[in-house]
Every structure is written in structure tokens, then in C-alpha cells.
Amino acid sequence: MAFAGTTWLRAPVRDLAELADQVTADLLSWGAAPNLALFGHSMGAAIAFEVARRLQRQDRDPIWLFVSGRIAPDAPYSGRLHAGPDADLLADLQRPANDPASVAVLRAEPEPAELVLPPLRSDYRAVETYVFEPGERLRCPISALLGDADPTVTVEQAEAWRGHTDGEFAVTTFCGRHFYLDERVAEIAAHLAARLG
């Protein structure tokens, strides 16, 4: 960490496996957590999946994995936006946004863009360089969630998560785009609660 004024800054982690290692280590430091469920959206879904795999290898299986707005980890994916110009990165960010105008402001305002773009580019790099390593399937159930108008993942693509668990599996769609969860908080909370009992 570095200290800058009154704000603590952490250098962005640009590797998804490293992020999963850090999250797993933190969770393991909590001690016994027999009722741990994981939820991840978009990039977070891939991280949550990798964390679940690491926990299972430690015999600390999560009780449920919820993956949202993300293709399955072994699905073909190629992207090099993290290495391209800012304009391409912002255009891709604008595509799935519920309010594209909220992203467009970054094109016109250099100061917010200077704050947002470096960590955003690191996130893109983590996702675009992620390589799925085949291994043991999860024992816990997986629920795949997505918006019915999400331009980044289809129901058929979400169904491919089924191949990553020996447990229960289901796909559920909600009304909305990629960031449907911003507008469906109560529905999603009820969905999770119903499955977790």
C-alpha cells in the first residue's frame, strides 16, 4: 500500500488467479466458516469460481456458488482491450451499461477518467489473460444469474456453468441488462435467501 494524502491506495492486481489467491487466504483466515456462500458478478463470478475451487482443495467447500453475468470459465474468450486505447476500453464499458451516459462522461472529463481507467484496465487485463485450468469439479451447487437483455452473456452460455459442479445447478434470468442487479436488489436477495434457506 502507498499513502497519498488522506487516501490509502493499493496497486491494482492484474492477474485473476492472484486475486483468487488473495481472497481465499483472507477467507481462510476467518477460521471455521461452515456456511460460506460465494456471489460474484461479471469478473467477480470468475474470481468467486476460482476461490470456490481453492476452498474445496482445502476441504472448506462453500455451501453455494452464485455466478452472475458471466460466461463459464472454460468458454472461449479472447480480448485485448486492456492493451488498446482508452477510447476502445470506454466503448466496451458503455456497451453493457444500464445508463450509457454515465460512462460517456469519462470521455469528456479527463480528471475522473484518470482515476477510473488504470484500475479498469487492470480488471480487463485480469479477465482477458485468465486461463482456465481443468481440475476437479465443484461439489457445491452453482446458480447462474443474468439479465435477460445482457449483451455479454446469453442463457445458453450461462448454461455451460453446469459442467463445473457435481451439485445442483440452475440458470435464472432477471429483467435487465448486464448490470441488472443494480435495479433488482430485492429480487436477487430473495432468490439467494430461498436457496440458502
Residue-wise burial string across 41-50, b where 16 or more C-beta atoms lie within 10 A, e elsewhere? bbbbbbbbbb
Marked catalytic residue, from 42, 68, 122, 143: 42
Decide: helix, strand or coil at residue 105. Answer: helix
Cα–Cα nearest to 52, from 76, 63, 128:
63
Distance CA 161, CA 42 (A): 13
Q: Which residues contact 192 (CB under 8 A, 6 or more apart)?
A: 37, 39, 66
Whether residue 102 lies in the annotated active site = no
Q: Which residues does the annotation mark as catalytic? A: 42
